[in-house]
Structure 1
Amino acid sequence: MAEAVVSAAREDFTNRIGREVHSMSKAGRMATYEWQAIADEFLDYLGALSVATPDLDSAEAKAALKDASEAAAGAVAYAAYHPHCTFHVFLEYVNFGMSYDPGDDSPAERVTPGEWTDALCLAVLRDKAQWHGEAFHFARQKFAEQAQGTPAGELVTGWTAVVLDHTGDDEEYPPGARAKLAAVDGALDRIRTRAAETGEALLDRPDSVALHALRALLVEDREAFDATLADLLTAHAAVQGPAASPSTLVPLVPVALSALAYRTLGWTPAVRTDYLPHALVTGFESQGPRVAGFGEDRRPDAVAALAAGPLVVERPACERDGIQRVGAMYDAYLQEAFTAGEGKPLAVARLSSVMDDQKRLFQWRAGNPGDLVDAQLATLRLASQMGAALFRIALAEPGTDVEVSIGGRTLRYAAERGRSAGAGYWQTAVAFALITGVREDLAPLVLTGPTFAHPDGSAFTAYRAALHAYLKGTEPEAAARRALQEAEKAKDWGFAMPPAVLLSQLVEGDEESFNLALADALETHRAYYQVADRGDGPEASVNLDVLALACHARRRGWSIRVESPYLPQYLLQAAEPL
Structure 2
Amino acid sequence: MAADIDVAAGVASLASGVDSIFERIERSDMARRHALDATLTFAKARCEVDPGAEEFETWEAWVTAMQLGHARFALAAVPEGTTLTCRIREKEWNLPTTGPQPYVNAHHWVNAFYLALICRENERLGELARVPVSLLRESGATFDEYIYSWVETLQRFWLGQDGVGDHLVAAVDGTGPDSARWADQDYMSSILYPPIILFYRYLREDHEQFNEALVDALRWHKEYWSASDDRAINSDGLVAFGPLAIACLAHDKGFPIEVESEYLPKALLTFAWRGEIDT
**Which bracket does the TM-score occupy, shorter chain normalised?**
0.7 to 0.9
Deviations 1:401-433 (A, max 9, x none): 211111122112221121232112111111111
CA contact (8 A) 1:449 1:468 kept: no
1:395 aligns with 2:80: no
CA contact (8 A) 2:51 2:265 kept: no
Q: Tell me the equivalent position of 1:531.
A: 227
1:386 aligns with 2:71: no
RMSD between superposed Cα atoms in Å? 2.8
CA contact (8 A) 2:130 2:155 kept: no
Alpha-carbon distance in structure 1 between the residues aligned to 2:166 and 2:13: 44
CA contact (8 A) 1:434 1:442 kept: yes
Deviations 1:139-192 (A, max 9, x none): xxxxxxxxxxxxxxxxxxxxxxxxxxxxxxxxxxxxxxxxxxxxxxxxxxxxxx
Q: Tell me the equivalent position of 1:504.
A: 200
Q: Tell me the equivalent position of 2:152.
A: 465
Q: Tell me the equivalent position of 2:90.
A: 408
The 1:430–1:320 alpha-carbon spacing in structure 2 relative to 1, beyond 3 Å, is farther
The 1:331–1:538 alpha-carbon spacing in structure 2 relative to 1, beyond 3 Å, is closer
Structure 2, unmatched stretches of 5+, are 275-279
Q: Tell me the equivalent position of 2:131.
A: 448
The 1:384–1:326 alpha-carbon spacing in structure 2 relative to 1, beyond 3 Å, is same
The 1:351–1:321 alpha-carbon spacing in structure 2 relative to 1, beyond 3 Å, is farther
The 1:323–1:362 alpha-carbon spacing in structure 2 relative to 1, beyond 3 Å, is farther
1:493 aligns with 2:180: no
The 1:335–1:537 alpha-carbon spacing in structure 2 relative to 1, beyond 3 Å, is closer
Alpha-carbon distance in structure 2 between the residues aligned to 1:349 and 1:538: 22
Deviations 1:481-533 (A, max 9, x none): 11111223359823242422112122333333222211111111112122122
Of 166, 172, 181, the residue aligned with 1:478 is 166
Structure 1, unmatched stretches of 5+, are 1-318
Q: Tell me the equivalent position of 1:346.
A: 27
Alpha-carbon distance in structure 1 between the residues aligned to 2:254 and 2:238: 26
Tell which has more relative contact order, 1 or 2 (C-alpha 8 A, sep 6+). Answer: 2
**Cα displacement (A) at 1:567:** 1.3
1:359 aligns with 2:44: no
CA contact (8 A) 2:51 2:262 kept: no
Q: Tell me the equivalent position of 1:229.
A: none
Partner SS, residue 385 of structure 1: helix
1:418 aligns with 2:110: no
The 1:328–1:451 alpha-carbon spacing in structure 2 relative to 1, beyond 3 Å, is farther
Partner SS, residue 396 of structure 1: coil
Give the share of equivalent positions with the same residue, in percent: 23
The 1:334–1:467 alpha-carbon spacing in structure 2 relative to 1, beyond 3 Å, is same
The 1:485–1:360 alpha-carbon spacing in structure 2 relative to 1, beyond 3 Å, is same
CA contact (8 A) 1:386 1:406 kept: yes
Alpha-carbon distance in structure 2 between the residues aligned to 1:348 and 1:430: 23
Alpha-carbon distance in structure 1 between the residues aligned to 2:117 and 2:32: 20
State the AA in 2 paired with 1:400: T
Alpha-carbon distance in structure 1 between the residues aligned to 2:267 and 2:211: 18
State the AA in 2 paired with 1:569: K
**Cα displacement (A) at 1:369:** 6.1
**Cα displacement (A) at 1:366:** 2.0
Partner SS, residue 93 of structure 2: strand
Alpha-carbon distance in structure 1 between the residues aligned to 2:137 and 2:57: 35
CA contact (8 A) 2:73 2:131 kept: yes
CA contact (8 A) 1:337 1:346 kept: no
Alpha-carbon distance in structure 2 between the residues aligned to 1:552 and 1:576: 16
The 1:356–1:340 alpha-carbon spacing in structure 2 relative to 1, beyond 3 Å, is closer
**Cα displacement (A) at 1:434:** 0.6
Alpha-carbon distance in structure 1 between the residues aligned to 2:81 and 2:50: 47
Structure having the higher Rg: 1
The 1:425–1:439 alpha-carbon spacing in structure 2 relative to 1, beyond 3 Å, is same
Give TM-score scaled by structure 1 length. Answer: 0.41
1:330 aligns with 2:14: yes
Number of corresponding residues: 256
**Cα displacement (A) at 1:370:** 5.1
CA contact (8 A) 1:348 1:390 kept: no
**Cα displacement (A) at 1:362:** 2.3
Alpha-carbon distance in structure 2 between the residues aligned to 1:370 and 1:483: 31
Alpha-carbon distance in structure 2 between the residues aligned to 1:498 and 1:451: 23
Alpha-carbon distance in structure 1 between the residues aligned to 2:199 and 2:35: 28
State the AA in 1 paired with 2:226: Q
Alpha-carbon distance in structure 2 between the residues aligned to 1:415 and 1:384: 18
State the AA in 2 paired with 1:402: L
Alpha-carbon distance in structure 2 between the residues aligned to 1:328 and 1:576: 22
**Cα displacement (A) at 1:439:** 1.8
